[in-house]
């Protein structure tokens, strides 16, 4: 397998001011894989319960996502229910039911060893470490985490971060990891913990990325008709890692291309509920979106100010 993602496959119920959509295909691994598979074969390591619909499996398979690592177990699928306000940046979790995800123990199929890229989505860092131990030689390991794990398993989180090439954090996570409030100041310290590249994601404000070449700044693409922001971060990671897998990602210009792809994918995802927008997405639209982003950020520096 070229790309492997370890994370959640879930059933989401999403409330917005006008609508409610229930039992949507959700979870980090779903969003990541559907975004990344546009660039290279992707395999999912996750677990679903006996209530998981065959329709969702067909959707993933139909798009070319490999499900050899998707365990199906007696019990309930991980469910998340949340509500977005009129301002879609305001999110409230109504309910989280872990179901079979509570005892999830990722098992990598043999064909997933020595992949080109591995994305460890936001799961227990102890499990992330187990995956790293079994994953073989992987030239690009990207990791996501969250405040809950940094607080609860700080040592395991640090060990994972040490072994990551690329770490994705938000402002709060960067603060928890370093004790520094300004993420711009925290990022160099996080790089010293291991990752060559630190991405500070800022939701509707884009992302600031620090690598050996300095900062790469990407605003989010402006979306007027945000329907469902769920999965934007995992889709961003999917576009980024999907594009960079097998490439010389240490190159500044390559990584910038990856960030552009990630930004473009995530801006498309939020324009429909669940994974609908990526599912129907055509590569031509992605390229167009990327070029629109480029046009919106293009400027020259005045000479001889």
Among 64, 85, 154, 212, binds its own copies (CB under 8 A): 85
Taking the least distance from each CB to its own copies, the nearer of 119 and 221 is 221
> By CB under 8 A, how many residues form the interface with its own copies?
51
* Alpha-carbon torsion (91, 6, 96, 198), positive or negative: negative
Q: What are phi and psi of 75, to 5 degrees?
A: 130, -165
Helix (H, G, I), strand (E, B) or coil at 242: helix
Using the rule CB under 8 A, is 86 a contact of its own copies? yes
Cα dihedral sign, 294-215-277-19? negative
Find the binder of its own copies among 35, 38, 77, 235 (CB under 8 A): 38
Q: Which residues have a Cβ under 8 Å from the Cβ of 78 and sit 6 or more positions away?
A: 8, 9, 10, 11, 27, 47, 48, 49, 97, 98, 99, 100, 101
Which part of the chain contacts its own copies (CB under 8 A), choosing from 105-113, 119-127, 132-140, 280-288? Answer: 280-288
Which residues, other chains included, contact 205 with Cβ-Cβ below 8 Å and sequence gap of 6+? 219, 220
Considering only residues 122 through 161, tell me which ones interact with its own copies, judged by CB under 8 A.
none
Binding range to its own copies, per CB under 8 A, among 1-9, 23-31, 85-93, 143-151: 85-93
Dihedral of alpha carbons 177, 179, 180, 181, sign: positive
| Between 19 and 22, CB nearer to its own copies | 19
H/E run at residue 13: strand 10-15
The stretch among 45-53, 66-74, 144-152, 286-294 that binds its own copies (CB under 8 A) is: 286-294
What is the gyration radius of the CA atoms in the chain, in angstroms? 18
Tell me the CA end-to-end span of the chain in Å, nearest whole number: 52
Interface map 216-245 toward its own copies (x if CB under 8 A): xxxx-xxxxxx----------------x--
Residue 250: CB minimum distance to its own copies, A: 16
Rank residues 138 and 260 by Cβ distance to its own copies and give the closer one.
260
User: 217: which strand partners?
Assistant: 208
Per-residue mark of binding to its own copies, 174-213 (x: CB under 8 A): -------xx-xx--x-------------x--xx-x-----
Residue closer to its own copies by CB (options 55, 283) is 283
Q: Minimum Å distance from CB 151 to its own copies?
A: 19
* By CB under 8 A, residue 74 contacts its own copies: no
Residue pair 123/152 in contact by the 8 Å Cβ criterion? no
**At 167, is the secondary structure helix, strand, or coil?**
strand
The region of 125-133, 154-162, 271-279, 288-296 touching its own copies under the rule CB under 8 A is: 288-296
What is the smallest separation between the CB atom of 236 and its own copies, expressed in angstroms?
A: 15
- In sequence order, the β-bridge partners of residue 201 are 170, 207
Contact residues for its own copies (CB under 8 A)?
A: 38-39, 85-88, 181-182, 184-185, 188, 202, 205-206, 208, 214-219, 221-226, 243, 253, 256-257, 259-261, 283, 286-287, 290-291, 293-302, 304-305
């Amino acid at each position: 397998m070229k790309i492997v993602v370890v994370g959640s496959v879930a059933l989401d119920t999403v409330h917005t001011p006008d609508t409610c959509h229930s039992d949507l295909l959700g979870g980090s691994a779903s969003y990541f894989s559907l975004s990344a598979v546009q660039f290279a074969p992707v395999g999912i390591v996750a677990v679903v319960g006996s209530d998981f619909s065959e329709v969702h499996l067909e959707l993933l398979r139909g798009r070319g996502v490999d499900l050899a690592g998707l365990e199906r177990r007696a019990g309930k699928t991980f469910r998340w229910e949340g509500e977005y306000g009129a301002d879609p940046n305001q999110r409230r979790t109504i309910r989280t039911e872990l179901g079979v995800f509570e005892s999830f123990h990722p098992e990598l199929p043999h064909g997933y060893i020595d992949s080109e890229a591995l994305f460890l989505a936001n799961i227990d860092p102890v499990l992330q470490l187990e995956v790293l131990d079994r994953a073989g030689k992987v030239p690009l390991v990207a990791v996501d985490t969250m405040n809950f794990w940094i607080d609860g398993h700080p040592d395991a989180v640090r060990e994972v971060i040490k072994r990551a090439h690329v770490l994705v954090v938000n402002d709060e996570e960067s603060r928890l990891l370093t004790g520094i409030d300004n993420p711009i100041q925290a990022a160099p310290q996080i790089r010293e913990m291991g990752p060559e590249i630190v991405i500070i994601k800022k939701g509707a404000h884009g992302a600031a990325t620090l690598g050996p070449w300095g900062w790469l700044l990407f605003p989010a693409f402006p979306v007027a008709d945000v329907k469902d922001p769920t999965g934007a971060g995992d889709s961003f990671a999917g576009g980024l890692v999907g594009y960079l897998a097998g490439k010389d990602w240490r190159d500044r210009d390559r990584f910038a291309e990856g960030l552009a792809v990630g930004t473009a994918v995530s801006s498309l995802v939020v324009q429909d509920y669940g994974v609908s927008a990526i599912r129907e997405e055509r590569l031509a639209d992605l390229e167009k979106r990327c070029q629109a982003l480029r046009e919106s950020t293009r400027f020259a520096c005045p000479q001889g100010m």
